[in-house]
Structures are given as C-alpha cells and as structure tokens.
Amino acid sequence: MEKKKIIIGTFIALTLIGAACAGTAYYYLFAPQFHPQKTVYIYIDRDDTTDSIYNKVKRQGHPRSFNGFRWMAQYKKYPTNIHTGRYAIRPGENVYHVFSRLYRGYQEPMNLTVGSVRTLDRLARSVGKQLMIDSTEIAGLMNDSAFQQKLGYTKETMPCLFIPETYQVYWDMNAEEFFERMQKEHQKFWNQERLDKANAIGMTPTEVCTLASIVEEETNNNSEKPMVAGLYINRLHTDMPLQADPTIKFALQDFGLRRITNAHLAVESPYNTYLNAGLPPGPIRIPSSIGLDAVLNY
C-alpha cells in the first residue's frame, strides 16, 4: 500500500512538473510576446552577428520576454545559420513564428523605386539607399564596358535598360540580381505592341528612349509630351537638327543652366543637337514610361 502511494505521488509530481514545463514552454514560445504598435521590419545584413540581431529584434519588436528567442537560437545553432534580409514582426506574434522566419530566411518583399533621374550615378545612389547593395557595386557594373556589352548596351545607351517604376523585390538581392530584374522588366515593357509602334516610326527602342529623355527634359506636362515628341520626330524625318536645348545642358553637364547662349551652342559634343543632325548617342536622362509612350503615340 505504501509503495502504491509512492508511485502515485511520484506520478502526480512528474505530471505537475511536466505541466509546469509545458506551460513555461508555451508561454515563452507560443504565447504572444511581441508588441510593436504596428508591423515593423528588421534588416539583417552581412555584417550582423547574433548579438546585433538580438538588439534589432528587441528594439523593434518590444518583446515581453526574450528568453524563448534565445533558447530557440541556441537550440537551432542560429549563429551558424544567419540569413540576410528584411523580416516582419507583427503585433501579437509569438517567438516561435518570428524566430522561424529569421532562421529559415522567410523574408518580406519590399518596394524598390527606380526613378526617372538624370544620371546613372544618381540611380546607383538611390538604389543603394533602398537595398542592401552598396551603391559602388551597382555603379561599378553600370560603368563596366564588358558588363554593358553583355547586356547589349554601351556607356551612352545604358540608361535605356531602366524603366522607372516601383517593383517588389527582396532587400538583400545582389547587384547581378538587380540587373537581371531590370532586364526582365525592360522586356516586359517592350512588348510586341510597343515594338510595332517603334518600328512604324522607324525607331529602335533605344532611339525611342533617347528621344523620350529629351522630351521629358523639355516639359513636365504629360499632356504636352506627345506634341513635343511629334515636333522632334518631324524634324528627324526631314533631316533637320533637333535643336533641343536640354541636350546642350547635358553636353555641358550643367543641368541648372537657365539661359542658353550662342557660346553654349558652339560646344563640341555629340550631344549638341544644334551642330549635329539626328539623335544624340544616348539618353540625357532615364525617361519615364509616360515619356516613352508619348514618343510611341506622338
């Protein structure tokens, strides 16, 4: 009888201990622990360590307890399996879900804005500020003649690759992946309908891009752009010089120039459309899709 009581007592004690352990594990791993006011994001880059990630998660996620996260990290050997990227922490989430996301590399996509800017250097800086890629990596590839040739461009025509738009991408994409995505978006924009329109006016996509860049420097008014494009296309078709003041500014690399003088018009440059007939060697900015369509639908 006494032995039976001991067995029952031991069983009850073990059950209570097990329940307490299960309750503790549930609290630290599966109960809501993160309490930001809204969905927040942490960015893990190549220089991050376990400690720096801990600090980012705590600072952004406002966890009630961080013990469960540390336990999971130690059990899963997280220091040897860190994934770069942009990760979400939502109000009311538990440690298990947040840690699993980071551990498995399940990151959230983000919006990357490729702007209609004047120079490739500005584009590189803009993209570098938005993604994990350093702007020097992007600029290095954009200015590499072998890489330009691989993509089918020259130094002068490289701006034609980019279609200004907002794209969903992963924050930790590398420079090569960025350019691959830009190629896909370029091909998507230049569908058969647009290619047919370009062919109908006797222009290649690169020439359309070059003319669109001049149109966009001439006017910010979208409704005027097809008319301005028509004016220049008529000049091209009659072998008249374009006589576009924005190309003079580009030749001089003085974009703030307000008044073009005769001295400016004498500048020796292939971009001087007063001295040279036809289109300049390439775009004088990255034109928007509106500008490109303005030329195609002049």
* Of 109 and 20, more confident: 109
- Please tell me the distance from the alpha carbon of residue 298 to that of residue 224, in angstroms, as a whole number: 10
- Please tell me the distance from the alpha carbon of residue 291 to that of residue 225, in angstroms, as a whole number: 7
pLDDT mean over 55-59: 97
Asked whether the predicted pLDDT for residue 33 surpasses 80, the reply is yes
Asked whether the predicted pLDDT for residue 11 surpasses 70, the reply is no
pLDDT mean over 250-258: 88
80 Cβ neighbours under 8 A, 6+ residues apart:
none
Asked whether the predicted pLDDT for residue 37 surpasses 90, the reply is yes
pLDDT of residue 8: 57
Helices 192-200, 289-296: crossing angle, 10 deg rounding? 50
pLDDT mean over 208-223: 97
End-to-end CA distance of the chain: 101
Mean pLDDT of the chain: 92
Residue 167 CB burial class (10 angstroms; 0-12, 13-18, ≥19): middle
pLDDT tens sequence across 276-294? 999 999 999 999 999 999 9
pLDDT tens sequence across 172-200? 999 999 999 999 999 999 999 999 999 99
144 Cβ neighbours under 8 A, 6+ residues apart:
none
Q: How confident is the model at residue 17 (pLDDT cuts 50, 70, 90)?
A: low
Q: How confident is the model at residue 1 (pLDDT cuts 50, 70, 90)?
A: low
- 3-class SS string, the chain: CHHHHHHHHHHHHHHHHHHHHHHHHHHHHHCCCECCCCCEEEEECCCCCHHHHHHHHHHHHCECCCHHHHHHHHHCCHHHCCCCEEEEECCCCCHHHHHHHHHHCCCCCEEEEECCCCCHHHHHHHHHHHCCCCHHHHHHHHCCHHHHHHHCCCCCCHHHHCCCEEEEECCCCCHHHHHHHHHHHHHHHCCHHHHHHHHHCCCCHHHHHHHHHHHHHHCCCCCCHHHHHHHHHHHHHCCCCCCCHHHHHHHHCCCCCCCCCHHHHCCCCCCCCCCCCCCCCCCCCCCCHHHHHHHHCC
pLDDT of residue 254: 87
Domains and CATH numbers, the chain: 28-104 (3.30.1490.480), 110-189 (no CATH), 192-296 (no CATH)
- Please tell me the distance from the alpha carbon of residue 282 to that of residue 32, in angstroms, as a whole number: 56
- Please tell me the distance from the alpha carbon of residue 170 to that of residue 132, in angstroms, as a whole number: 9
Sign of the alpha-carbon torsion through 173, 174, 176, 178: positive
Cβ neighbours around 93 below 10 Å, total: 19
High-pLDDT (> 70) share of the chain, %: 91
pLDDT mean over 249-262: 88
pTM: 0.88
Please, are residues 243 and 272 in contact by the beta-carbon 8 Å criterion?
no
Asked whether the predicted pLDDT for residue 23 surpasses 90, the reply is no
Q: Which amino acid is at 62?
A: H
- Please tell me the distance from the alpha carbon of residue 142 to that of residue 99, in angstroms, as a whole number: 37
pLDDT mean over 159-171: 98
pLDDT of residue 32: 93
Please, are residues 138 and 178 in contact by the beta-carbon 8 Å criterion?
yes
pLDDT tens sequence across 83-139? 999 999 999 999 999 999 999 999 999 999 999 999 999 999 999 999 999 999 999
Strand-strand pairing, 165-169 and 40-44 = unpaired
pLDDT mean over 257-280: 92
Overall residue count recorded for the chain in this entry? 298
Please, are residues 138 and 130 in contact by the beta-carbon 8 Å criterion?
no
Q: How confident is the model at residue 255 (pLDDT cuts 50, 70, 90)?
A: confident
